[in-house]
Chain A
């Protein structure tokens, strides 16, 4: 397996390079960008993030727990308030909503960390260089040795300032 790195100057050129590469069948791509860019994101088309499932589970758990907790508390220490039943559901909606947000938020961060640290395959970042956090965009392509020429050609046409083989 070889790795080819192309260095680009603008987000649109990077997105264009990604589109060309994917069109030619190269799907093992890694893009380094100094700033977030929707254009590159759309070009990579990685699908919706899994983190949103954590948010949904967190929200549903939070709202259920909040109601259960309040009902349990109301019966554990019964007090008549305002002539209402001990467990008065409408009054619990506010805390239900807040626990929904709290659990949803905390689990979203947890999901982000879990996916960022543990569930991503350990990628090889040897092609990274500090200018990718400055003013350059990097596009790294994993390909077979005999495809290096083709990848170089595509990256060159896409307007790369520099193309080099990182590892062969």
Chain B
């Protein structure tokens, strides 16, 4: 690939300004929320669910690149570099993790009271120590993978670079042995690292799911939930990758026409297949909980799907009363956006190849995941009983939208900045 070379360039001004404004908006919403006495807990809650979404998504994007390598894929072309640019956010999400640590008193009950029967596991020092170590590890592994993957593309650029880029390229290409040798080396070493990246994502984000989501309702037991969460990170990054590819397909700076009908078809297939797997992971947990009907297990589902959970017989009597319970419509909306619509709409070949349809479904999927993270976190901290007593459900309140916008801004600033230094697909200034 002749265009797979780093080409240092300046940030595209207009998009960068927009994303910087969004990030600033997020910072304002966060500080305004945290500093006000009555919204402090809510702000940390919103930060937690947004962090869960974007941290898992960014690491999922590195996994997408790793998956291309592991499966010996040849169809992706520049899409791999776009996924790697999205993965650059892992470093920032690691820094943002410490905000959750600062807000631990507002978020986690087990910081104040030991959880009966789980005193050892949810001892605060131990919990944050293992989570910090897991995140240090997974961030290191992901960045090291990106280093290996991108190194061969920097050969030409390091000669021409000046200023801070020169030292950065010099550091990344220390011991340069010529492009051919480097590419070959990256291919072999990259494949080994890809396996480590995939396993680390599964293990570390499962741990995050246990400690930051399941621990909000500490009596709840589920063996499938951690895998379900980690898989959500992978699927949401594929949906976002599709959106980014579609948004850049007519940009003059990317390889012209790189998003061929066949590649759109393949991205559509990935969303289609993996959304089925996502639903399957949820369903296999839901099914045993529904069947056994044990209070420790049903509580989590009841808080999100109502006291009768799903309609479990064929007639639809009382359906309206059931969905009128707190959070139920939002949970059903998540299913609609992440599984029902992608499944039925992307079933055929033509919808997958049509940019408008594929793009709409991918946007829906990302929005669905954003709401899903909300629905995973909030009902544990604001239980339905409180909602019935008057607490408001505000997935689209100003703090939620503000912090959500902040994460979007930061994520794409990181994306653009990454593509500014390494080969990615970003439009040049004014382009």
Q: Which residues 65-82 of A have a CB within 8 angstroms of B? A: 67, 71, 82
Q: Which of A56, A71, A84 contacts B312 (CB 8 A)?
A: A84
A36 located at the interface, meaning its Cβ lies under 8 Å from any Cβ of chain B in the complex: no
The answer for the CA separation of A120 and B104 in the assembled complex, in Å, is: 69
In the assembled complex, the CB of B181 is this many whole angstroms from the nearest CB of chain A, namely: 31
The answer for the CA separation of A85 and B314 in the assembled complex, in Å, is: 9
Question: Mask for B294-323, Cβ within 8 A of A = 1, else 0?
Answer: 000000000000000011111000000000
Give chain B residues whose Cβ lies under 8 Å from the Cβ of A90.
286-287, 290-291, 310, 312
In the assembled complex, the CB of B10 is this many whole angstroms from the nearest CB of chain A, namely: 41
- Report yes or no: B349 in contact with A91, Cβ–Cβ below 8 A: no
In the assembled complex, the CB of A98 is this many whole angstroms from the nearest CB of chain B, namely: 14
In the assembled complex, the CB of A39 is this many whole angstroms from the nearest CB of chain B, namely: 14
Give chain A residues whose Cβ lies under 8 Å from the Cβ of B98.
none
Give chain A residues whose Cβ lies under 8 Å from the Cβ of B286.
90
Give chain B residues whose Cβ lies under 8 Å from the Cβ of A89.
310-314
- Report yes or no: A85 in contact with B291, Cβ–Cβ below 8 A: no
B283 located at the interface, meaning its Cβ lies under 8 Å from any Cβ of chain A in the complex: yes
Give chain B residues whose Cβ lies under 8 Å from the Cβ of A82.
291, 293
The answer for the CA separation of A48 and B349 in the assembled complex, in Å, is: 9
A12 located at the interface, meaning its Cβ lies under 8 Å from any Cβ of chain B in the complex: no
In the assembled complex, the CB of A97 is this many whole angstroms from the nearest CB of chain B, namely: 10
A133 located at the interface, meaning its Cβ lies under 8 Å from any Cβ of chain B in the complex: no
- Report yes or no: B293 in contact with A87, Cβ–Cβ below 8 A: no
Interface size on B, residues (CB 8 A): 13
Give chain A residues whose Cβ lies under 8 Å from the Cβ of B283.
93
The answer for the CA separation of A48 and B311 in the assembled complex, in Å, is: 39
Would A85 and B293 be within 8 Å (CB), given that A48-B349, A93-B283 are in contact? no
- Report yes or no: A71 in contact with B314, Cβ–Cβ below 8 A: yes
**Closest Cβ neighbor of B286 among chain A residues:** A90
The answer for the CA separation of A91 and B293 in the assembled complex, in Å, is: 13
A10 located at the interface, meaning its Cβ lies under 8 Å from any Cβ of chain B in the complex: no
The answer for the CA separation of A143 and B311 in the assembled complex, in Å, is: 63
- Report yes or no: B293 in contact with A88, Cβ–Cβ below 8 A: no
Give chain A residues whose Cβ lies under 8 Å from the Cβ of B287.
90-91, 93
The answer for the CA separation of A55 and B290 in the assembled complex, in Å, is: 32
Q: Which residues 245-294 of B have a CB within 8 angstroms of A? A: 283, 286-287, 290-291, 293
Would A83 and B311 be within 8 Å (CB), given that A48-B349, A93-B287 are in contact? no
In the assembled complex, the CB of B383 is this many whole angstroms from the nearest CB of chain A, namely: 24
The answer for the CA separation of A90 and B282 in the assembled complex, in Å, is: 13
Q: Which residues 43-57 of A have a CB within 8 angstroms of B? A: 48, 56
Give chain A residues whose Cβ lies under 8 Å from the Cβ of B311.
89
The answer for the CA separation of A89 and B316 in the assembled complex, in Å, is: 11
The answer for the CA separation of A83 and B290 in the assembled complex, in Å, is: 11
- Report yes or no: A86 in contact with B349, Cβ–Cβ below 8 A: no
Considering residues B287, B290, B313, B314, which has the most beta carbons from chain A within 10 angstroms of its beta carbon? B314
- Report yes or no: A87 in contact with B313, Cβ–Cβ below 8 A: yes
Give chain B residues whose Cβ lies under 8 Å from the Cβ of A93.
283, 287
Q: Which residues 340-386 of B have a CB within 8 angstroms of A? A: 347, 349
Q: Which of B313, B347, B349 contacts A85 (CB 8 A)?
A: B313
The answer for the CA separation of A156 and B286 in the assembled complex, in Å, is: 65
The answer for the CA separation of A28 and B176 in the assembled complex, in Å, is: 57
Give chain B residues whose Cβ lies under 8 Å from the Cβ of A56.
347
Would A88 and B313 be within 8 Å (CB), given that A83-B293, A93-B287 are in contact? yes
The answer for the CA separation of A90 and B347 in the assembled complex, in Å, is: 23
The answer for the CA separation of A135 and B349 in the assembled complex, in Å, is: 34
The answer for the CA separation of A67 and B287 in the assembled complex, in Å, is: 16
24 cross-chain CB contacts under 8 A: A48-B349, A56-B347, A82-B291, A82-B293, A84-B291, A84-B312, A85-B312, A85-B313, A87-B313, A87-B314, A88-B312, A88-B313, A89-B310, A89-B312, A89-B314, A90-B287, A90-B290, A90-B291, A90-B310, A90-B312, A91-B287, A91-B291, A93-B283, A93-B287
Using CB atoms and an 8 Å cutoff, list the residues of chain A in contact with chain B: 48, 56, 67, 71, 82-91, 93
Enumerate the 10 nearest inter-chain pairs by beta-carbon distance, A residue then B residue, closest first: A85-B313, A87-B314, A87-B313, A88-B312, A90-B290, A71-B314, A90-B287, A90-B312, A89-B312, A89-B314
In the complex, besides A88-B313, A90-B290, A93-B287, 10 extra interface pairs with C-beta distance below 8 angstroms are: A82-B293, A83-B293, A84-B291, A85-B312, A86-B313, A87-B313, A89-B313, A90-B287, A90-B312, A91-B287
